[in-house]
Chains A and B, each alone.
Chain A
Amino acid sequence: EDQVTQSPEALRLQEGESSSLNCSYTVSGLRGLFWYRQDPGKGPEFLFTLYSAGEEKEKERLKATLTKKESFLHITAPKPEDSATYLCAVQARNVGNNRKLIWGLGTSLAVNP
């Protein structure tokens, strides 16, 4: 069964304290792995798409990496405005043109000033 597990469930950092969030996935052929950010009371907002092992994407203080089993979202020198829930989702290759995503439960990140 296709599955996405994110860890930790919650993370509290001091401003400037770098860390990484993990997304482990089990899928019969990966078409794409997606990272989204969700602020309280808002819908998820797209961050990155990764397609193959070894691929990396960067945006400001965030860098996403991908292996055959997991993805990491590295946060370098975070600021309080990086506080949010970070969601990971995968799309399986074996579903034809179906664009269904399997979502993790997210990591709730709090960055203290």
Chain B
Amino acid sequence: DAGVIQSPRHEVTEMGQEVTLRCKPISGHNSLFWYRQTMMRGLELLIYFNNNVPIDDSGMPEDRFSAKMPNASFSTLKIQPSEPRDSAVYFCASQLAPSGANTGELFFGEGSRLTVL
């Protein structure tokens, strides 16, 4: 299995530009999570989907952020317009719903490092 695949790995953009981050979860996993990681705040959950449906988007900072999951194998996180304070590493993680012996561990991608100048 290729694991969770994120793109791009690095993105440098200027303030005001639109940024789109992409994620392909592990096949068969039914939940997908978008996290943001910074030194000061650590890992913060932005939004998560269960069976392609957004369940909790309370962590989305503001209307500039939006996320979609059009099918079980693809999700996007969009920032429009981007601001310098959005600079962080954005992680996508997928999960098979916990049941029985399955602990529901999260499988993370390698992240997308975003720098907004």
Contact = CB atoms under 8 A, between A and B. Distances in A.
B95 A99 contact: yes
A87 interface: yes
Which residue, B42, B44, B45, B55, has most C-beta atoms of chain A within 10 A?
Answer: B42
B99 interface: no
Interface string B75-95: 000000000000000010101
Q: How large is the interface on A (under 10, 10 to 19, 20 to 34, 35 or more residues)?
A: 20 to 34
Given A101-B45, A105-B42, A106-B42, A43 B4 contact: yes
Interface string A79-109: 0000000010100000001111101111000
A64 to B, nearest CB: 13
A71 interface: no
A49 interface: yes
A2 interface: no
B109 interface: yes
The DSSP consensus for interface residues of chain B is strand
Interface in A32-49: 32, 34, 36, 41-46, 49
Nearest to A102: B45
Contact of B42 (A43, A45, A49, A104): A104
Interface in B22-48: 31, 42-45, 48
7 contacts: A41-B110, A44-B91, A87-B42, A97-B55, A99-B31, A99-B48, A103-B43
Interface of A: 32, 34, 36, 41-46, 49, 87, 89, 97-101, 103-106
